[in-house]
A and B are shown apart, each in its own frame.
Chain A
Amino acid sequence: MTIAASAAGARGALGRGRLRNAAERAGLFLAVLAVLWGLWEGFRAFGEAVDLRAGQFVVNDRTMPHLHDIVAQLFEPSRRNGPLLIGVLWDAALFTAKEAAAGFLLGALFGLALGTALAHSGLLQRGFVPYIVASQTVPILAVAPMVVVWVNPRLPPGLRDWGAVAVISAYLTFFPVTINTIRGLTSVDPRALELMRSYAAGAWAVLWKLRFPAALPFIFAALKIAAPASVVGAIIGELPASIQAGLGGAILNFNQYYITSPPSLWATNLVAALLGISFFLAVLLAERLVVRRAPEHVG
């Protein structure tokens, strides 16, 4: 058996019933979309009809704007005589994307390096992994102002402000990458390691030719989690840094004016979600290109 195949269990959820026809897939995608849309509007209609209340929750235009209103809002001016909302959000998304991409790269590289270093010693793992886990319990939102104040002066003028945001974004990114890198590098088939020993291969050769390729599925699984996380980190980081140009600023802004235009906030959230999803898809694409494995073992 091959290394990956010998560790198999049953196929994952998407393995069985895999639809070959791309058109079928697209159709299913749209069908679910339609169902969700129907559920939303249906719930809304129901709630209005029976005047549904749950604590403070009421169903009306403020709490549950019509989905078509949200989409329509994108094509309205964001403020009086201003540019279209969709234009504003597009620019904001690009701005945040820049920060998030930088944070993702930083976090991923750091996570890989840290994970590789720790994978070689059980002692180091037992010493440091608890704190790596604990680092994620620190509410980054609360610490963000301090990070901004500390990092900004130390950056060249061109990178000020958004550089600090990238650091915060990296903070959320490195954790899954580190943990999964350790797991991936250490879950190599012992037989494969014995074989390497029989070739008298040096530690570096073992790392590069065996452990690392074997760890790629794990690493990509982590990168898929880290990708949207980097976007979240970037948005969070923008708030204390008082950056208006990104999605964080847009969310704060439209939150303030929620009463006047509820769909605007929802539209902003939609764009934020799409940004996160697009980062995820980018990693997914990279995975398809880089990782060649027995079909049932990817992802």
Chain B
Amino acid sequence: MSESRPAVVSLRGVTKSFGAGGVTALQSIDLEVRPGEFVSLIGPSGCGKSTLLRIVGDLVEPTAGEVVVNGKSARQARLDGDYGIVFQDAVLYDWRTVARNISLPLELLGWDRARRAQRVRELLDLVELRGFENHHPWQLSGGMQQRVAIARALSFSPALLLMDEPFGALDEMTRERMNAELLRIWERSGSTVVFVTHSISEAVFLSTRVVVMSRRPGRIAAIVDIDLPQPRTADTREEPRFFELVTEVRDRLREGGLDEDRTAPDEGELVGEEAP
């Protein structure tokens, strides 16, 4: 991808501790995400990957370090609407139709009705939900709700898309399908994606690079380049190279995830990790 253009996200020495007791969630993270990349963050529970995502989105403040998003401070990037975010929970408004849910950020940006309607139509095509404009969230399946959430995140064409385990609540089949759809959407929209996940195969399938994080305090244990050809399809999952990469990621995880004597799994994600 283009090495000459400046990084979309640039993290230097980012550290995050919580509370006076000083639980360190992230330790000295250095990372650059280039335009057009699809970067996954993967690691054991509690390694701070969600926290890192939120730091990029200026939803959590780092204790130390520098965060540059789209050439600006994280805060400015947020104020300028440079990124869209998708959570594991679709967080749709029950009282709005699908179309109005998607247009919410556009309303906040002050777009006029005609322009909003036009954009919503485009997005519905993009996520293949034409015909569901006037449905309400509770009438949709989990996968469909997430598609609405993705459409909403992309509504104002941000340079960056942040995704926090968006398919974590879906079943395996739907998940794989959504993965394929996400890649298609990524291709068409041209945005850069930072994607947090628990699933090794998902990370390898989707990404151009996989960032493996160690257990708490989270550090970058390894970065694995995924050299699988684009566009990726269901067949890609069958290729030998795919399995090799999955194994490599798994090995890196193991290295970073296990302490000398510890074999027990980590405790769950830090409570209070999200911004108050």
Contact = CB atoms under 8 A, between A and B. Distances in A.
Interface of A: 1-6, 189-192, 194-195, 197-201, 205, 209-210, 213-214, 216, 291-295, 297
24 contacts: A1-B145, A2-B91, A2-B92, A2-B94, A2-B145, A4-B138, A194-B59, A194-B85, A194-B87, A194-B274, A195-B85, A198-B78, A199-B81, A199-B109, A200-B79, A205-B108, A209-B104, A213-B93, A216-B95, A291-B95, A292-B94, A292-B136, A293-B95, A297-B94
A294 B138 contact: yes
Nearest to B76: A200
Interface in B86-106: 87, 89-95, 104-105
A7 B235 CA distance: 39
Nearest to B105: A199
Q: Could you say which of B79, B80, B92, B274 has the most chain A C-beta atoms within 10 Å of its C-beta?
A: B92
B81 A200 contact: yes
B94 A195 contact: no
Contacts of B87: 191, 194-195
B35 interface: no
Contact of A210 (B81, B93, B142, B145): B93
Contact of B108 (A3, A190, A199): A199
B77 to A, nearest CB: 10
Interface in B115-164: 136-138, 142, 145
Given A195-B85, A197-B78, A209-B107, A3 B91 contact: yes
A75 to B, nearest CB: 48
Contacts of B89: 1, 6, 189, 191
A214 B93 CA distance: 8
Interface of B: 54, 57-59, 78-81, 83-85, 87, 89-95, 104-105, 107-109, 136-138, 142, 145, 169, 274-275
Contacts of A197: 58-59, 78, 275
B105 A2 contact: no
Contacts, number: 82
Contacts of A199: 81, 104-105, 108-109
A201 to B, nearest CB: 5
Given A2-B145, A197-B59, A294-B138, A192 B91 contact: yes
Nearest to A210: B93
Nearest to A295: B138
Nearest to A292: B95
Contacts of A3: 91-94
A276 to B, nearest CB: 29
Given A190-B274, A194-B275, A200-B81, A294 B108 contact: no
A198 B104 CA distance: 12
B90 A1 contact: yes
Contacts of A4: 94, 138
A191 B86 CA distance: 10
Given A2-B145, A195-B87, A293 B94 contact: yes
Name the 5 nearest CB pairs between A and B, nearest first: A294-B138, A2-B137, A4-B94, A200-B79, A191-B91
A194 B153 CA distance: 13
A177 to B, nearest CB: 20
A210 B81 CA distance: 19
Contacts of B142: 1
A5 B94 contact: yes
Nearest to B109: A199
Contacts of B57: 198
A105 to B, nearest CB: 24
Nearest to A206: B108
B95 A198 contact: no
Contact of A198 (B59, B94, B137, B145): B59
